[in-house]
Amino acid sequence: MTLRIYFEDVQEAEPVTYRLKHLIRAAILATLDYEGKEGHSEVSVTFTDNEGIRAINREYREKDAPTDVLSFPLFEEGADGTRMLGDIVLSLEKCRTQAEEFGHSFERECAFLTVHSTLHLLGYDHVNNEEEEKDMRERQTAIVEGMGLGITEENK
């Protein structure tokens, strides 16, 4: 499996390091692997802050509030078989706040939200009913734990 990620950083709340990009890549790859996706995939990841994600949330979802992550699936396949998954927009500012609220690491929160968003890019949803939400939460937990980022004293 190969993966190309197009990163864009449009915020100043958190530094975007090589380590963070590597973590995001690992989270996407872990999700694709868990879902049995093979071949070449492409995705874009935009790092933003609360104000940036609020503007996108307002424009595309008519919700005038910051959120943690947004997913924009493409469900397209190129002529060469490349799966163009879509776009992930991640508020690093919200990641930091939620990590503190939930009592775990910034890295774990970023990975969890990336897995969540990647599942959306693959067609999963959690807004229609409780069963879909439970299925998605179980997948997210399994993937994050498989990455070694489950909730432990070390990841808090």
Domain 2-146, what fold? Collagenase (Catalytic Domain) (3.40.390)
Residue 128: the pLDDT is 73
First to last CA, the chain: 31
Question: pLDDT tens string for the chain (156 positions)?
Answer: 899 999 999 999 999 999 999 999 999 999 999 999 999 999 999 999 999 999 999 999 999 999 999 999 998 888 888 999 999 999 999 999 999 999 999 999 999 999 999 999 999 987 778 888 899 999 999 999 999 987 654 444
Residue 18: the pLDDT is 97
Residue 15 tokens read as: 């530094």
* Domain limits, the chain: 2-146
Residue 146 tokens read as: 């498989």
